[in-house]
Structure 1
Amino acid sequence: MTRRQPAPADQDDANRRLGQHLLAVVREQDARIPAGRRAPRTVAEMRARLAAVALDDPEQDACGLCGYWTCRCGKQSVAVLSGAGAVA
């Protein structure tokens, strides 16, 4: 197994300065993005977004009876038959 030699102090300082520079550039560019087009970056922002687009629409969720996205239990055919047999 090979051991890495410790980096010289000047290399550590250069890496630290590069990291600070890149972080400053990212924050500056993020600040330029309009609020409506900014993607969520924090866990709280992502959770809030997921709560806003929760799957309340039954068409966007799996069948509650059989668990498949395309229902295999006949629930759809019953709904179609009851709708087609209704008298207007």
Structure 2
Amino acid sequence: MPYVITEACINVKDKSCVDVCPVDCIYEGPDQLFIQPDECIDCGACEPECPVTAIFPEEDVPANLKQYVQLNREAFNKEPKPGRPTR
């Protein structure tokens, strides 16, 4: 299961997690960072680096934040256009 970035990242985008990701699967969106689920190798390196505790393994996302699992996937399932995550 890939990792997911949730609500606490909105308008923070600290990017500490980006620096430790061994496969560069974390991308910047318009208001938060996103993890590309097909590229994530589930290593967990990003989770402890997040200063706002926004990163969870997909299966451990708190119930009140479950919508971020789908939002994260949707960020990568559309044609590239302005506002889509970029590196």
Q: Which has the higher contact order (CA 8 A, sep 6+)?
A: 2
Q: TM-score, normalised by structure 1?
A: 0.23
What TM-score, normalized by structure 2, do the two folds share? 0.23
More strand as a share of residues: 2
- Structure of higher CA gyration radius: 1
